[in-house]
A and B are shown apart, each in its own frame.
Chain A
Amino acid sequence: MSIDKKAIIKMDSIYKRFYIGTPNELEILHGLSFDVPDGEFVSIVGASGSGKSTLMNIIGALDKATEGNYHLGGTNISLLNDRELSEIRNKKIGFVFQTFNLIARTTALKNVELPMLYAGMGSKERIKRAKELLELVEMSDRAMHMPNELSGGQKQRIAIARSMANNPSIILADEPTGALDSKTGHLVMDIFHKLHKEQGKTIVLITHNQKLAAETDRIITLSDGNIVSDEKMSGNAVYTLNETVKEEKPETESHDESVILTDKTSGKDGQ
């Protein structure tokens, strides 16, 4: 990715403090600054307690920095009120969660429609777009299925389609493969790569899996609320589309979340 591309995310001395009753003040982020250019696939890695989740919440406009400015596509998020934040989340950010977070008792299609519903899009247009998105993640035949009728990998693909609904500026993926076995996880990663390559989507991947991070353009490593390294990978050479990852070992030593869960049912959707 060329450096001179316009920055879509601009982080300028971001501090996050939690006040748990004076004088106790807990500083989680100690003035982070970084830019993410439009169209970059960046991963943010770090152990538990590194401030990764806090940073993710700020990037996702779920939370505001205590100090510092965060610009997303030219908008200073730090200045927005609740209502404007929800509009930013709706139109500019596509969330993909570790546990999929599809709305239960609602079809895959309706789940994909949801962000468009909140954006006030008409029903016909919504259904058309949702169907296109399901096509994109190769889930057209599951449009009318309920989440509990789908495997983990399938759910995550629906969730990715949902994140793309309002054509957001960035996709924010929080451990998207964390609840999947390695094979299914890899298929999900394939979709991100496809969105990145074919549609030029800016993708922010939050993970502690170094191997996944290595597939991306750039790795920002957090530790104790500071950026300890920010390295560009050599092009995309690390990743080739049909490469199969034989095994995945936890790369970071410290915590249980890094253990890749095996989803027995997900074997089916290995295609």
Chain B
Amino acid sequence: MNFKENILLALAGLKANKMRAFLTMLGIIIGISSVIMITTMGTIVEKGLAGVVTDLGVNNLVEIFIRQKEDSVRTTIEESDMFSDEIIEQLMTRFSGELQYIAIQQSVGGGTMRFNREDINMTVYGYNSDFIHIFSTDLLRGRYINEKDIQGQKSVCVIPDDLALKLYGSPENAIGEILSMNVAGGVKEFAVVGVYKYKQSAFGGVFSRNYDIHIPITTARKMINASPYYSWVDFITYEDVDVIKFSEEFGEYVNERYYKDNNSYEVMCYTMAEQLTSISQYVGIIQGVLSIIAGISLLVGGIGVMNIMLVSVTERTREIGVRKALGAPNSAIRIQFIVESVIICAIGGLIGIIAGVLLGNLGGLLFDTSAVPSVGAIVIAVSFSMAIGIFFGYYPANRAAKLDPIEALRYE
């Protein structure tokens, strides 16, 4: 008796009791689909987090900021507590082997303009020339803010592509145009020098579009009379630098060098990499707990399969007796029932995978992304459900195999 014949035999057995086979499968379907759903959603969350990293630019971002000491004397921040251009310059020189770029910014605030009887909302930021590297913004046309703009406090701006499209018809046409807006208490005009590609963030798309306009940081400072001191600064290290380790050394150095005598403030370093690692860990723990619960439902499904197989063996006692009288060895009877239980579980597993992927992606809609489990995950899930079939099918099958043919033939 070959494998194909065993499968055909098992399918015939299942066909005879469709409803029952389906209900038995349901346990496996629920178990497998919840496992797959959880892994799919896990993949989606991970993808979402990975998206955040690329959006915000970088794994090798080190942010340094000032904070109050525990035994702080003052609660107000003075310019001497903050980073100056001079300190930044010194740090860049001191750590020239590690630090690649620096990003400083000055927020100006909201700006508006009226276009085709529509109010367009913008947010204006002053940036330095390195900034483009930090947010890994793709420049589509023109150029980014450069040192000359900053030195000369020029009224130039870099705008997102969708705004360029809206106002000037295309990114090409935008270059050289004058953007006039109401900002910081007056109408200001800026020459458009560049157009960057707007990227929707992984968690965005909920609010109405607010365009970010980049201008030179010096221009921004002048507009709102801000002083060149910073309470936080972003650095980008070279790719091969271990950011988490470097950020510790860096923080210690800055505290030692500049804040030793400051009785109220010190600095702290923060890395995106560290944050993401801990978020991933939390997600992993939640996923693990949910997987255990899903695993329990799979176990319950498996017990259901065993139960039904026991019923099936009892019901077919006489048939088993006849098969034995006709020369079926115990092994053939055992295989017949195991194959039947494996088929229930395999079909249930396949349906469960499909349902799990669909449900998982339904949850994934929240993150505006989708995920399909890898072939490996599917193979593991199907093999696992088949293993359940073997495990929970073995006992009933063995019971069938060991029936005494005389007793079985006599069974009513």
**Residues of A participating in the B interface, judged by any CB pair closer than 8 Å:** 57, 60, 62-63, 82-83, 86-87, 89-91, 95, 97, 101, 103-106, 114-115, 117-120, 123, 162, 166
Contact of A118 among B319, B327, B405, B406 (CB under 8 A): B327
B366 interface residue (CB < 8 Å to A): no
Set of chain B residues within 8 Å of A82, measured between Cβ atoms:
329-330
Q: Does any Cβ of A come within 8 Å of B409's Cβ?
A: yes
Cα(A166)–Cα(B328), bound, Å? 13
| Contact with A90, one of B327, B330, B405, B406 (Cβ below 8 angstroms) | B327
Contacts A101-B318, A162-B326 given; does A106 touch B332 at CB 8 Å:
no
B1/A101 in contact, CB under 8 A: no
Q: Are A115 and B326 in contact (CB under 8 A)?
A: yes
Whether A118 pairs with B1 at a CB distance below 8 angstroms is yes
Q: In the complex, A119→B1 CA distance in Å?
A: 7
- Asked if B86 lies at the interface with its beta carbon under 8 angstroms from chain A, I say no
Which one, A63, A86, A104, contacts B327 given CB within 8 A?
A86
Interface residues on B, range: 20 to 34
Contact B325 A103 (CB under 8 A): no
Within residues 393 to 412 of chain B, which ones have a CB less than 8 A from any CB in chain A? 405-406, 409
A86 touches B328 (CB 8 A): yes
Which residues of the partner chain B approach A60 to less than 8 Å between Cβ atoms?
325
Given contacts A86-B324, A105-B12, A117-B5, contact A57 B406 (CB under 8 A): yes
Q: Say whether B289 faces chain A, with CB atoms less than 8 Å apart.
A: no
Whether B325 and A95, one on each chain, are in contact in the complex, defined by CB atoms closer than 8 angstroms, is yes
Among residues of A, the one whose C-beta sits closest to the C-beta of B321 is A101
State A62–B1 Cα separation when bound (angstroms). Answer: 21
Q: What chain A residues lie within 8 Å of B323 (beta carbons)?
A: 103, 114, 118
Q: Check B332 against A118 for contact (C-beta < 8 Å).
A: yes
Q: How far is the CA of A115 from the CA of B13 in the complex (A)?
A: 18
Instruction: Say which residue of B318, B327, B330 sits within 8 Å of A119 (CB atoms).
Output: B327
Chain A residue with the shortest CB-CB distance to B402: A82
Chain B residues within 8 Å of A120, by CB: 1
**A83 surroundings in chain B (CB, below 8 A):** 329-330
Q: B272 near A: Cβ within 8 Å?
A: no
Q: What are the interface flags for B25-67 relative to A under an 8 Å C-beta threshold, 1 for contact and 0 otherwise?
A: 0000000000000000000000000000000000000000000
In the complex, the answer to whether A103 meets B1 with C-beta atoms within 8 Å is: no
Q: Nearest chain B CB to A63's CB is how many angstroms away? A: 6
Q: Please indicate the chain A residues that have their CB under 8 angstroms from the CB of B327 in the complex.
A: 86-87, 89-91, 115, 118-119, 166
Complex Cα–Cα for A120 and B3 (A): 11
Asked if B181 is at the interface of the complex by the 8 Å CB criterion, the answer is no
Nearest B-chain residue to A94, judged by Cβ? B326
Q: Which of B296-319 contact A (CB under 8 A)?
A: 318-319
Q: Does B375 contact A (CB under 8 A)?
A: no
Chain B residues near A117 (CB, 8 Å)? 1, 5
Which chain A residues lie closer than 8 Å to B330 at the CB level?
82-83, 86
CB-contact partner of A101 in B16, B322, B332, under 8 A: B322
**List of B residues within 8 angstroms of A101 by Cβ:** 318, 321-322, 325, 409
Contact partners of B13 in chain A: CB under 8 A = 105
Which residues of A lie under 8 Å from residue B5 when comparing CB positions? 117, 123
Alpha-carbon gap, A114 to B319, bound state (A)? 12
> B95: shortest Cβ distance to chain A, in Å?
78
In the complex formed, the residue of A with least CB distance to B318 is A101
Q: List 7 A-B contacts (CB under 8 A).
A: A86-B329, A91-B327, A101-B322, A103-B319, A104-B16, A105-B15, A118-B323
- The smallest beta-carbon distance between A151 and chain B, in angstroms, is 19
A183 → chain B, closest Cβ, in Å?
A: 26
**Known contacts A57-B406, A101-B409, A103-B319; is-contact A95 B329 (Cβ 8 Å):** no
* B1-27 residues at the A interface, CB under 8 angstroms: 1, 5, 12-13, 15-16
CB distance from B16 to the nearest CB of A (A): 5
